[in-house]
Amino acid sequence: MRTSMYDRISERRIREEQRLEQERLAQEVLNAPPPPPERFHTNELSFVRPEGFKDKTFHVFTLTDIGPSPLSVVIGRTPIDGAIDLETMAQQLLADLNKALSHLEWIEPLCPAEVAGVEARRVEFSWRQQGQPVHQLQLLFLHYDEHQQPLLIQITGTSNAPKGMTLQERAAFYSLVDTLELRKPSEDEPVKSA
């Protein structure tokens, strides 16, 4: 049975659309981000993080087991939109601090710094909490999680010394910061700059 010219044109158009769709799907596979490493690592252990679980990890270091510590260091990580730069994130944080903390006093305004070889921001301030002085020194920088998603990393030293952070507390804070090394992606993961 012979087909009409219009049937042949239609069949050719359908074959061309199918070929283009297959090429598009193949290109999507090539452009897909690599899968994250199988295991999620903390200091002492690793596990497989179920899809959809958000990591809101905080590491808290204190000098005492019970009651308020004279000095604490908290390392927090917050997932962010990859389009936001460090300066914008730092300015948003300062605006949030201004709203949240009463009697906020800026000791050192936001300034450039470096942590583990990457660009960072540093800020120092104090406020009163239940009538008692609290002094904080914060370092902020961008890094990536095991899924290669951007993170804001905050390292915060908090002192409740009446006259602000002591020289010994400041030295302890910076001894931790100065030894910080960022975890690099494994061999099969692409490296992204922070």
Distance CA 29, CA 163 (A): 59
Closest CA to 165 of 69, 59, 65: 69
pLDDT digits (tens, 9 = 90+) for 16-28: 999 999 999 888 8
d(CA 70, CA 164) in angstroms, rounded, equals 11
What are the helix (H) ranges across 54-166?
86-100
Comparing CA positions, the residue from 138, 181, 151 lying closest to residue 77 is 151
What digits encode the pLDDT tens for the residues 33-54? 777 667 766 666 677 777 777 7
- The pLDDT > 90 percentage for the chain reads 43
Higher pLDDT, 94 or 52: 94
pTM for the predicted model, two decimal places: 0.71
Which of 102-106, 163-167, 186-190 shows the lowest per-residue confidence on average (mean pLDDT)?
A: 186-190
pLDDT digits (tens, 9 = 90+) for 119-129: 999 999 999 88
